[in-house]
Amino acid sequence: MEVRIISDPMKADTRRREIKTSSKREVTKISEIYVCLAAIMLIGIMLLGGIYTNICAKNVQSQYRLEDLREEKAKLEKERLSLRLEVNKLSSLERIEKIAEKELGMAHPANRYILDMRNHSVLQASLTDIAAADSGLDGSRE
């Protein structure tokens, strides 16, 4: 290591000041870098924090949505059952009979007549016609 002895006190003082200034400059430079790094990190952390918060918020939001949907599903299922019950109530034979008799003025038939289709010639003929028409339709489809 080379050691230079400066005999002039003025020079020595200037030199000391220079060294001091340059070291000060270096320190400032380094600290600026650190500040920059810190700022970048801070921004990064803030960004990450923001993203994380956003994800969390969305997660909570979707959880709320899920809860709502679950409730909605239960509600709809209940509604389905209620409607099924209502349909069954409305289609009860007792109710239908009551409406038929009281509102529509219908009555149970006192006399019932039977038309025996097996021995009815006119009906037999029309049934044959229908059967023939049906087979014709089938043929045209082919």
- Distances in Å between the alpha carbon of 56 and those of 10, 67, 68? 67, 16, 18
For another protein, the closer of residues 116 and 142 by Cβ is 116
Please count the residues of this chain forming the interface with another protein, following the rule CB under 8 A.
24
Q: Can you tell me which of 5, 8, 10, 111 binds another protein, judged by CB under 8 A?
A: 111
Q: Does 107 bind another protein (CB under 8 A)?
A: no
Nearer to another protein, 103 or 116 (CB): 116
Least distance (Å) between residue 89 CB and another protein: 4
Binders of another protein among 4-33, rule CB under 8 A? none
Residue 77 CA to residue 34 CA, distance in Å, equals: 62
Q: Secondary structure of the chain: what % helix, strand, coil (to 5)? A: 80, 0, 20
C-alpha 20/C-alpha 27 separation (Å) is: 10
57 binds another protein (CB under 8 A): no
Q: How far is the C-alpha of 97 from the C-alpha of 107, rounded, in Å?
A: 9
Residues that bind another protein (CB under 8 A): 59-60, 63-64, 66-67, 78, 81-82, 84-85, 88-89, 91-94, 110-116
